[in-house]
Structure 1
Amino acid sequence: MNVTVENLGPCKKLLRVELDLAAVDAAFASVTKEYQRHAQLPGVRAGKAPRDLILNSFGPRIDEEVKRKLISDAYPKALEQEKIRAAVQPDIEEIQFGRGQTLQFAATVETQPEFELPEYKGLPVKRETVVITDDDVDKALNVLREQRTDYKDVARPVTAGDIAVVNYTGTCDGKPISDTAPTARGLTEQKAFWIRCEAGQFIPGFTEQLHGMNAGEKRTVNVDFPPDFVSAQLVGKKGVYEVELAQVKERILPEVNEEFAKSFGTESLDKLRAGIRADLEADRNSKASRAVRDQIIQALLGKVSFDMPESIVLQETRSVVYNIVQENQQRGIPKEAIEQQKDAIFANANASAKDRVKAMFLLNRIAEKEGVKVEQQEILERVQAMAQQYQMPIQKLIKQLEERNGFGEIHEQILVGKVLDFLQLQAQVEEVPASAPTA
């Protein structure tokens, strides 16, 4: 096999491969014999068909199979011969092939980047110390109390903490709010809508203006939509609501006692508190570990620079763009506004994609050097967990994964996780106080 290599740029090469006539003839002979052995032809016993009859009947199919087989065998051997590490599947073109002649083809291949691994052991990172206080547990218990809230109709004015059941219509600049924000129909009109009368609920400033109202009373409520409002088209605008109070409901929270604890399947209040503490500790430890991993990745990214395969960066960029667009649409931003920002969106997505791809190559190279591998059992366990999470038969999930190269993604996720676990163990960790404890 003769191979010539031409550099087309960073991470891109052109391979020209030629197989000699002997290799081509041998492949034709092998494939033709297989057809003779298994072909079903009228009036001919299986395995007894003459070669000429086989060629007349299946010639084009044999040619195609020989060509496919020769190229699929020759391409990886050419990579190995030239010590080229391909990053993606090649573009095969300029194929010259036929009986009685050599096989020639060209393969444009994007290669894995060439770089020296930076020092990756002993990276300095900061990890927030996890401390769960009694106050943290109390806050979590209050969340559980909220889940068990009862409601009682009361014949009195609305006060803070009540549930106001209201009918309302909203306008902006004298027109229905949906004219300004088409996706915000729920902000335009509602019947029997429950609003908890506490600051920050619904639209800022709305619930405070309901205080003192009685059932059956009507009132005009004026609001200013804040800069971080969920519907971007309404940011900075003023809204006017005509509100009718239908009912006032008082919230009845259960007492935190032994009976309350048993309603959650625990033996006692002490054990419920202990379980909450353990859950909070596990959650914060997980967040602290993710923060350490992010620091490790950022440190590695800053230590080395190299070119990357364009197609992989582009594919990742498209994925990031898709996620950004989906997020903006969910926030109610119209397609026209997104289209106006497309250049900025693409630029931000491309920068993020480059970091992701760069991190992928770095972590994979570390995995190679340290002998980190993924076992089939680990992939199977991950698939089983996914099937349970999605409440899907495992065979159906396996089929879906096979159709979209999902097993490759799972392998990559597990490998990256194992490498980051390794790097975290090797890092120089400085424990620091938690910046903002959360329940």
Structure 2
Amino acid sequence: MVIVQTEELGPCRKRLRIEVSADQVTQVRKEIVQQFSRAARLPGFRPGKAPTLLVEKQFQKEIDDELQKALVTRALREGIQKQQIDVVRVLGTEEVRYLDGLSFSFAALVDCAPVFALPDYSKTTLPRTETEVSKEEIDQALGKLLEARATFTDAGNRPLAEGDYAVVHYEGTIEGRPVKELYPAAGILAGAQDQWLLVKPGVFVPGFPEAILGMEVGQTRTFSVLFPEDWFFEPLRGKAVEYSVTLSAIKERHVPSLSDALAKEIAGTDQSGLLSMVQSAVETEKKRTARQAQSNHILNTLLRSVEFPLPESLVNEETENAVREIIAENQERGVPFATLEEKKNEIFSNARRLAVQRVKLRFLIDRIAKNESIAVTDEQLSGAVASLARRQNLPPRQFVQRISRESLESLKRQLLLEKVMDFLIEKAKVASV
């Protein structure tokens, strides 16, 4: 028999004091001793034939350790069921008391799912989104497709003009010191060899394309540019960099005209077929963007419509995940680690806010799914796994072996979110014009 007492430590945290009767302790210990007896190999006895008393004496510590693990696992599970607690995380055990032949007791700290009233999610009003595709959008998409097939030729003996592609060698300095030494993560902002650059305002560093206009092949020019205060690479914000640039070549770009031959090369069809494919792709992307906007609107509405406490352990775990994401994203943008270290408090604060939203949304989605009997089937999860495996050119079984249990659970949660969003979007009303 298991006796459970619950102590409230906070809105989502409890201490469970659990006692297991002496009879049950004796029964569990007997089972564990039998397991040890079957596996024991003692001198002078065939495997599994050693006397029980000898096995208990030889493996007393191991038996006691295994007994405590088994009792905690079984009693905690039974205690949670008895108290009907929705536990999201077991934080640990404490105050373990056990004497041979007597009852076993311990306390367990647990975080529980919050109790809250769901907002009325059946009457959400969505902003109207335009999904009809215009001719201009199709032409723009087709233009990008043709631009990807562009060819380049030398411009000949003439000055560099807007619209050209300049092949340049350049190096930046700040007060005489090379940028690449001051900021190793600056990349092409510090300098480059044989760098191709479209000569057009707004491309690359502000003021750089304008400063090289009129240059001739073989010429070197020195000029200074001032980086904007909102520049993506923080160390260069507001700083003046002097560039020394040598023009190696001037290239002209030639975008091909659409033809049946080119359409066949691109997509194995004629001009009409390619246009249809482009239109379909634009329509699909526009619908995807519209649905994402609707999803974001619903999620933001849900998050604003109700407040409830959150399990601290889940928020802390999600905060750690968010911090790693923010740091990785900034490092990809070239922000030095030293700069990130200086802003660690700001990063943590932003990560914490993001974590609170994610954990809150998780409980909202889970409750709506339960209310509406929405679930992810094994077939749907297997299909998603197979799709991810195909993207990595791996057999599904091998892909599953490579990913963690947490990753699989995260995928399942993402599928549930998508199914709930499908349901909410279908239920929602679209605002009139």
Same fold, judged at TM 0.5 (above): yes
Alignment match of 1:267 (pick from 262, 266, 269): 269
After superposition, give the CA deviation of every residue in 1:369-421 in whole Å (9 maximum; x if it has no partner): 2111122222222222222223345444323323x522221221111221121
- Structure 1 residues 249 and 131: alpha-carbon distance in aligned structure 2, compared to 1, 3 A threshold: same
- Structure 1 residues 123 and 8: alpha-carbon distance in aligned structure 2, compared to 1, 3 A threshold: same
- Where 1:263 maps in the other structure, the secondary structure is helix
% of aligned pairs identical?
Answer: 34
CA distance in 2, matches of 1:243, 1:319: 43
Q: Does 1:117 align with 2:115?
A: no
Q: Does 1:17 align with 2:18?
A: yes
AA in 2 matched with 1:49: A
AA in 2 matched with 1:174: G
Q: 1:338, CA displacement in angstroms? A: 2.7
- Where 2:292 maps in the other structure, the secondary structure is helix
CA distance in 2, matches of 1:338, 1:33: 57
Q: 1:38, CA displacement in angstroms? A: 4.2
Contact 1:127 1:289 in 2 (8 A): no
- Where 2:188 maps in the other structure, the secondary structure is helix
CA distance in 1, matches of 2:341, 2:432: 45
Counterpart mapping for 1:27-426 below 5 A: 27-155=28-156, 156-402=158-404, 405-426=406-427
CA distance in 1, matches of 2:432, 2:271: 32
CA distance in 1, matches of 2:326, 2:242: 31
Contact 2:90 2:108 in 1 (8 A): no
Contact 1:12 1:309 in 2 (8 A): yes
CA distance in 2, matches of 1:90, 1:171: 54
Q: 1:91, CA displacement in angstroms? A: 0.9
Q: 1:185, CA displacement in angstroms? A: 4.2
AA in 1 matched with 2:280: A
CA distance in 2, matches of 1:131, 1:93: 62
Contact 1:95 1:105 in 2 (8 A): yes
Q: 1:23, CA displacement in angstroms? A: 0.3
CA distance in 2, matches of 1:38, 1:177: 68
Q: 1:431, CA displacement in angstroms? A: 6.6
Q: 1:96, CA displacement in angstroms? A: 1.5
Contact 1:165 1:195 in 2 (8 A): yes
Q: 1:36, CA displacement in angstroms? A: 3.1
TM-score (norm 1): 0.92
- Where 1:16 maps in the other structure, the secondary structure is strand
- Where 2:245 maps in the other structure, the secondary structure is strand
CA distance in 2, matches of 1:411, 1:164: 49
CA distance in 2, matches of 1:52, 1:332: 67
Contact 1:87 1:111 in 2 (8 A): yes
- Where 1:318 maps in the other structure, the secondary structure is helix
After superposition, give the CA deviation of every residue in 1:309-347 in whole Å (9 maximum; x if it has no partner): 111111112222222222233333333433333323222
After superposition, give the CA deviation of every residue in 1:228-274 in whole Å (9 maximum; x if it has no partner): 43322112222222222111111121111111111112311111111
- Where 2:247 maps in the other structure, the secondary structure is strand
**Gaps (5+ residues) in structure 1?**
433-439
CA distance in 2, matches of 1:122, 1:182: 54
- Structure 1 residues 38 and 191: alpha-carbon distance in aligned structure 2, compared to 1, 3 A threshold: closer
AA in 2 matched with 1:257: S
- Where 1:110 maps in the other structure, the secondary structure is strand
- Where 1:348 maps in the other structure, the secondary structure is helix
Q: 1:22, CA displacement in angstroms? A: 0.6
Q: 1:78, CA displacement in angstroms? A: 0.5
TM-score (norm 2): 0.94
CA distance in 2, matches of 1:249, 1:225: 27
- Where 2:59 maps in the other structure, the secondary structure is helix
CA distance in 1, matches of 2:37, 2:337: 61
CA distance in 1, matches of 2:42, 2:432: 77
**Gaps (5+ residues) in structure 2?**
none
Contact 2:168 2:245 in 1 (8 A): yes
CA distance in 2, matches of 1:428, 1:278: 26
AA in 1 matched with 2:81: E
CA distance in 2, matches of 1:318, 1:90: 17
Contact 1:180 1:234 in 2 (8 A): no
AA in 2 matched with 1:368: K
**RMSD (CA atoms):** 2.0
Greater shift in the superposed pair: 179-188 or 149-158: 179-188
CA distance in 2, matches of 1:340, 1:36: 60
CA distance in 2, matches of 1:194, 1:40: 74
Q: 1:150, CA displacement in angstroms? A: 1.0
Contact 2:90 2:109 in 1 (8 A): no
Contact 1:180 1:233 in 2 (8 A): no
Contact 1:233 1:332 in 2 (8 A): no
After superposition, give the CA deviation of every residue in 1:183-227 in whole Å (9 maximum; x if it has no partner): 114333322221111222221222223232221122223322223
After superposition, give the CA deviation of every residue in 1:42-93 in whole Å (9 maximum; x if it has no partner): 4333443321122123332222222222211111211111121111123112
- Where 1:117 maps in the other structure, the secondary structure is coil
Contact 1:127 1:288 in 2 (8 A): no
AA in 1 matched with 2:20: L
